[in-house]
Structure 1
Amino acid sequence: MTMHWPLSKRTLSYNISYRCLDERDMPFLRRLYRSTRAAELARVPWSEAEKQAFSDMQFNAQHAHYRTHYLDALWLIIERSGQPVGRLYLERWPSEHRIIDIALLPETRGIGIGSAVLEDLMEEAANNGKAVGIHVEKMNPAMSLYRRLGFKTVEDKGVYDLLKWHPAS
């Protein structure tokens, strides 16, 4: 099911659309999760089967945690030209839009899609007088994107920073 979402010229220029995820997306989501952990897994001396088993275990734990703790979230697949390229998990709170998770396939990173998606989220939040928040690992390469877009650290959570963006007054 395709979602009606406040798409802008930014996301439309990349042929981006969103749809609710379903069980058929689980293999894609596992592959996407694994791609976000590729650098870490490259450093361990495990077999490919061990790396995949570990990645699957971590994905299952994360997925269960998200589904348990964010009951009102939107669970979206980001598509480009009708093909899945990422995920966006978002919960709209009274004063903030919390990005639970956002990830793109490696071949779609660094070309502007993430910026376009985030800028659309920021625009929607601003139109509703809300902030946008997200937890980001300190070593995540996307940290520079968040900083460039105006996100600031509001809390050090150890491995993660809680970042927030507030609309201009």
Structure 2
Amino acid sequence: MTDEDLPFVAALYRSVRAAELAMSGWPEEMQAAFFDQQHRAQHHHYRTHYPDAAWLILERGGEPIGRLYFHETPSDLHLIDISLAETCRGAGIGRAIMSDLIERAGGEAGKSMSLFVEPNNRARRLYLRLGFVGEGNAGAYEAMRWRAGGA
């Protein structure tokens, strides 16, 4: 990911969060300012806390369709964020990407995979089907972990 990708990433962030903010009743310009501020804060947080992470733009046919951010340590592959364009959600793309990440983590002896998810996020059901288990709450998020062999 480069700075040239930031407009796409900001628009993607907005599309992922739009439904929840639509209920606010805020005027469009207020929503736009809020999305911009929240995206900048999230981007700064991710870059500050995971400077060595993989920052990938997902493409199909040469066009950006999502983002994938993850950080690896000797014992864990941590999914920072996966987001897909609205037209690509529910098409099995996220499942395929998660399966690839699990295979990557499982290929390393003893490596687990971790993530945080909002309890009402549709992706949570996918994570459970893929073998992730809840490890408790972390603020507004649920910590989840996958371990090779389900251990």
Q: TM-score, normalised by structure 1?
A: 0.85
Answering whether residue 116 of structure 2 is matched by residue 135 of structure 1, we say yes
Farther off after superposition, 55-64 or 80-89: 80-89
Give the match for residue 38 of structure 2.
Answer: 58
Q: Secondary structure at the match of 1:139?
A: coil
In 2, Cα distance between equivalents of 1:103 and 1:35 = 10
1:2-29 deviations in Å (ceiling 9; x for gaps)? xxxxxxxxxxxxxxxxxxx101111100
Q: Gaps (5+ residues) in structure 1?
A: 1-20
Tell me how large the CA RMSD over aligned residues is.
1.0
Give the match for residue 122 of structure 1: 102
Instruction: Give the number of aligned pairs.
Output: 149
The answer to which structure has the higher helix fraction is 2
Q: Structure 2: give runs of 5+ residues left out of the alignment.
A: none
- How far apart, CA to CA, are the structure 2 residues paired with 1:75 and 1:46? 32
Equivalent residues in 2 for 1:1-169 (5 A)?
21-129=1-109, 130-168=111-149
How big is the shift at 1:47? 1.1
Structure 1 moving runs of 4+ over 6 Å: none
Please give the alpha-carbon distance, in whole angstroms, between the structure 2 residues aligned to 1:124 and 1:98: 12
Q: TM-score, normalised by structure 2?
A: 0.95
Percent of aligned pairs with the same residue? 48
Cα deviation 1:24-65 (Å, max 9, x = unaligned): 111100110001111111101111111111001000000001
